[in-house]
Homo-oligomer: A and B are copies of this chain.
């Protein structure tokens, strides 16, 4: 059974357990999907309202993109679990002989890179979803403005959480080229994404305090 097809209650329960999956990566993907869904909700509550007719086409475009990202992030819950299991196994490998030590090291290096993949993708998708919220915040129904704030807060948590899962893996990877490429791919997105999320949140707070 797929993790994404578990009920919310059961997902939380297995997350809380010592089972190897889901872990922080799967949690980040789900929280990112929830944040993205809130953006879609705000689009759906805006579309069809006369007051926002001038933004209608753009909001429809945001809704379509958010729907795609939500689907991808939900899929990443299980992709991350699948990619983590080889690492979980590799940690358990014997290293009594020189040969075993070498095999374990090689298997670990490969498994660590594999475990990095999905968290890197979660960083990218969360960044895209944060940008959609940035675009949406001034074009949406003011009745739903608080949900834009909730959306970016969830996505902020998702992008930072995914990055933590990148870091814990690359810390053990020996291939320096790989490590610097992954850092380059993610660090700027996380920095910019967090800043944009904070800016959008401040706009929401300002709108709510009027």
A residues sitting closer than 8 Å to B (CB atoms) are 3-9, 11-13, 15-18, 23-24, 27-28, 30-31, 33-38, 40-41, 44-45, 66-67, 70, 74, 77, 145-147, 149-150, 153-154, 156-157, 160-161, 164-165, 167-168, 171, 201, 204-205, 208
Contacts and interface: CB of A to CB of B under 8 A. Distances in A.
B16 A164 contact: no
A126 to B, nearest CB: 12
Copies of the chain in the assembly: 2
A15 to B, nearest CB: 4
A36 to B, nearest CB: 8
A168 B208 CA distance: 7
Given A24-B146, A30-B34, A153-B157, A41 B12 contact: no
Contacts of A11: 8, 34
B147 A24 contact: yes
19 contacts: A5-B9, A8-B30, A9-B74, A11-B34, A15-B37, A15-B41, A16-B37, A16-B67, A18-B41, A27-B38, A31-B34, A35-B157, A146-B164, A146-B165, A153-B161, A154-B157, A164-B204, A168-B208, A171-B208
A16 B27 CA distance: 18
